[in-house]
């Protein structure tokens, strides 16, 4: 490609590169006004500690999005598998055996619809939080830890409410909720700057009790039941 | 009110004057931040940081260059520092939202050519990409870019030349399509 051809291409198409939308002037101004400019000037000697914090938050949000996408993928996969198994069973067995097999493949999630909706949402949010749990302390600052711990606190409250609800009548669901209560309580008791050991203990608890696979399976089972 | 008076009032703590300065410069700062990042949330954060830092350091602004140049210098610095980390993150994570639409409203050009050009610009080393975006996309002069990036004008021209050479090489196979 020669210079003239490149010029032609740039002239025609470069302006659409990262084409900016209209700037959200008022929203940005509100955020700027909320800052203490004098303090920012005296403390910002390294070129943007505030920026670094925001970039970390942005990355944190992306991690939550990725975790949510992962969970949805697992749920869809499980749902597809459950339906395939059901069809295969129907093709090879008589009606009586078929009913028994389907019942054993899909755990009893026959509690009232409002609890199913709440439980399904809760399982998704908890899975997203636990998948996003960092493996070490380098990826998060104190503010992000606080945000993480606050989310875990909300989910712990929901866990305890669900344990006292018809949703926990199913033994396997009760076991899962009890394990989640334990893990979430560990997360809630993390300090603002957790040590590597504290995080390792939580990861060990997750692994030993196979919490994440059970969590995603339960979420998929409720979706399948619905 | 003239800009030097506005600056003096902002330094004295006048937030109305600050808003006036902001209104005059924020659209172009946001534009530059968006061109460099390609992400509305990041562009917004970096624009905010640019103005927070600028207002905090306004007393150090000597007026040697235009205020816009000084602001754009802060913007480029803020973006460059933060994007190193963002790029490392993006290399590890799959960004499901990054897929660029092949058809854009109001454009008559070939979407494949456009996509290839944009991808090639993305792949440029950062100093070349910044220079090319400022000159060829945003229309800054070499003098303005040199002031913003705090380099000699000759360096700026050389970087643009390097950027274009790399684009020509990356897009060499498109020459026949451009001729047709």
The full DSSP string for A54-111 is HHHHHHHHHHHHHHHHHHHHHHHHHHHHHHHHHHHHHHHS-HHHHHHHHHHHS----S
User: What six digits make up the tokens of A73?
Assistant: 């993928």
Pure H helices in chain B:
3-11, 15-37, 40-56, 67-92, 111-122, 126-132, 142-149, 153-170, 175-179
Kindly state whether A35 is in contact with chain B, defined as any CB-CB distance less than 8 angstroms. yes
Taking CA atoms, what residue in B is nearest to A63? B93
Least confident of A178-192, A194-208, B97-111, B160-174: B97-111
Q: What is the pLDDT of residue B7?
A: 92
Mean pLDDT of chain B: 86
Q: Which of B41, B49, B171 sits opposite A50 (nearest CB)?
A: B49
Give the residue from chain B lying closest to A13, CA to CA: B114
> If pLDDT is split at 50, 70 and 90, which confidence band does A202 have?
confident
Task: State mean pLDDT over A66-70.
Answer: 62
Judged by average pLDDT, the poorest of A163-177, B26-40, B98-112 is B98-112
pTM of the model: 0.53
Report the pLDDT value the prediction gives residue A134, as an integer from 0 to 100.
76
Of residues B131 and A113, the one with the higher pLDDT is: B131
Q: What is the pLDDT of residue A207?
A: 81
Residue among B51, B104, B172 minimizing CB distance to A16: B104
Q: What is the pLDDT of residue A89?
A: 56
Partner B contacted by A66 (CB < 8 A): yes
- Express each pLDDT in B100-124 by its tens digit: 444 444 445 688 889 999 999 999 9
Residue in B59, B60, B86, B76 with CA at minimum distance from that of residue B147 = B76
Taking only the tens place, the pLDDT of each residue in A47-65 is 455 555 666 665 666 666 6
- pLDDT, one tens digit per residue, over A9-61 is 898 899 999 999 999 999 999 988 887 664 544 444 444 555 556 666 656 66
Ranges of H-type helices in chain A: 3-13, 25-33, 37-43, 49-92, 95-105, 113-131, 142-163, 171-188, 196-208, 211-225
- Tell me the ipTM for this assembly: 0.84
């Amino acid at each position: 490609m020669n210079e003239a051809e490149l010029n032609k291409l740039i002239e025609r198409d470069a302006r659409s590169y990262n084409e900016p939308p209209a700037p959200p002037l008022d929203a940005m101004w509100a955020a700027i006004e909320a800052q203490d400019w004098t303090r920012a000037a005296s403390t910002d000697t390294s070129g943007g500690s505030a920026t670094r914090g925001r970039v970390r938050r942005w990355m944190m949000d992306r991690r939550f999005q990725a975790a949510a996408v992962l969970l949805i993928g697992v749920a869809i996969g499980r749902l597809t598998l459950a339906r395939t198994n059901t069809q295969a069973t129907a093709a090879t067995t008589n009606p009586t055996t078929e009913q028994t097999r389907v019942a054993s493949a899909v755990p009893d999630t026959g509690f009232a619809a409002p609890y199913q909706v709440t439980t399904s949402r809760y399982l998704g949010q908890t899975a997203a939080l636990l998948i996003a749990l960092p493996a070490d302390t380098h990826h998060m600052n104190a503010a992000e830890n606080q945000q993480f711990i606050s989310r875990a606190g909300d989910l712990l409250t929901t866990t305890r409410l669900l344990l006292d609800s018809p949703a926990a009548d199913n033994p396997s669901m009760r076991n899962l909720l009890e394990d989640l209560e334990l893990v979430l309580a560990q997360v809630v008791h993390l300090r603002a700057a957790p040590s590597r050991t504290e995080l390792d203990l939580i990861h060990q608890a997750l692994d030993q009790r196979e919490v994440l696979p059970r969590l995603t399976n339960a979420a998929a089972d409720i979706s399948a039941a619905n | 009110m003239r800009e030097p008076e506005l600056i003096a009032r902002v330094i004295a703590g006048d937030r109305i004057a600050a808003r006036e300065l902001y209104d005059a410069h924020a659209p172009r700062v946001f534009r530059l931040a968006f061109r460099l990042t390609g992400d509305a949330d990041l562009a917004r954060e970096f624009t905010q940081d640019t103005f927070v830092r600028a207002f905090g350091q306004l007393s150090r602004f000597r007026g040697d260059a235009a205020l816009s140049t000084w602001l754009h210098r802060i913007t480029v610095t803020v973006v460059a520092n933060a994007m190193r980390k963002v790029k490392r993150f993006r290399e590890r994570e799959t960004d499901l939202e990054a897929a660029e639409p092949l058809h854009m409203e109001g454009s008559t050009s070939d979407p494949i050519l456009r996509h290839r050009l944009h991808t090639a610009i993305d792949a440029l080393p950062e100093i070349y990409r910044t220079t090319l975006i400022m000159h060829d996309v945003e229309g800054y002069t070499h003098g303005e870019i040199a002031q913003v990036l705090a380099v000699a004008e000759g360096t700026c021209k050389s970087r643009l030349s390097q950027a274009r050479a790399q684009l020509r090489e990356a897009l060499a196979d498109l020459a026949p399509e451009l001729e047709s």
